[in-house]
Structure 1
Amino acid sequence: MAGGKRKENKMEYRKLDNVIVARIDKDEEILEQLRVIAIKENIKLASVQALGAINDFTVGVYKTDEKKYYSNSFQGYYEITS
């Protein structure tokens, strides 16, 4: 960090008709940035596709028959392909 200043990451997005394209910077939380877009654009339901890289993340699934959430955490670098 040159001069003791921290680089502030800024997610950017553009709306093209009913499609939103976003760029989320390194170290930004994906779900938080999607939440920001949803609030700003008053989105109630959406489908998300992604390309890029991610590191140190948690994914999960909710098993409706058990009414229980299961999660798995991963360390390292991974590619997102959709």
Structure 2
Amino acid sequence: MIYKVFGDTIVMRLEKGEEIISAVTELCKEKAISAGSVSAIGAVDNVVLGLYKVKEKKYYSSEYKEEMEMTSLTGNISVKDNEPYLHFHANFGREDGSVVGGHLNKAVISATCEIIIHRINGVIGRKFDDEIGLNVIEFN
């Protein structure tokens, strides 16, 4: 992972074998980022996506072990229990032209990944919502 800070924006590059969630979490801890927005593109070869079913209050995961283009990643950074809390959704283009997407649980880089983080000055928290079964944004 390499990165450069430009005011409230951080441009980050991940290399082959690095994992997006763990790398961004590490950066958030290093730079004390407690709120922000994230976008990224890149190439991956090992992805786990989630789909949440509200009625069941349960995530269903699908794993993809194939080379794909990450055509879009969007998400946010907040804090839960004094730790970075990342909420990312992503779309991935497959060789046949189809696209898979969902809640991003894991993505291992196959070539490179370019990430832009816009830091928000302040803290965005998370709290568990019993009705829907998810950690939702909370403002302190």
Superposition deviation, residue 42 in structure 1: 1.1
- Pick the structure with more strand per residue: 2
RMSD value, Cα: 1.4
Gaps of 5+ in 2: 73-140
SS in 2 for 1:76: coil
The unaligned stretches of length 5 or more in structure 1 are 1-10
Q: Which residue of 2 aligns with 1:74?
A: 64
Alpha-carbon separation, structure 1, partners of 2:68 and 2:15: 15
For 1:55, the aligned partner's letter is D
CA distance, structure 1, for counterparts of residue 17 and residue 7 of structure 2: 29
Q: Does 1:30 align with 2:20?
A: yes
Matched positions, count:
72
Aligned-pair identity (%): 38
Whole-Å Cα distance in 1 between the matches of residues 53 and 6 of structure 2?
35
Per the normalisation by structure 2, the TM-score is 0.47
2:37 is equivalent to residue 47 of structure 1? yes
Provide the secondary structure at the position in 1 that maps to 2:24. helix
Scaled by the length of structure 1, the TM-score of the pair is 0.77
Write out the 4+ residue segments of structure 1 that deviate beyond 4 Å after TM superposition: none
Determine which structure has the larger helix proportion and give its number: 1
Q: Partners in 2 of 1:65 and 1:17 — Cα distance?
A: 43
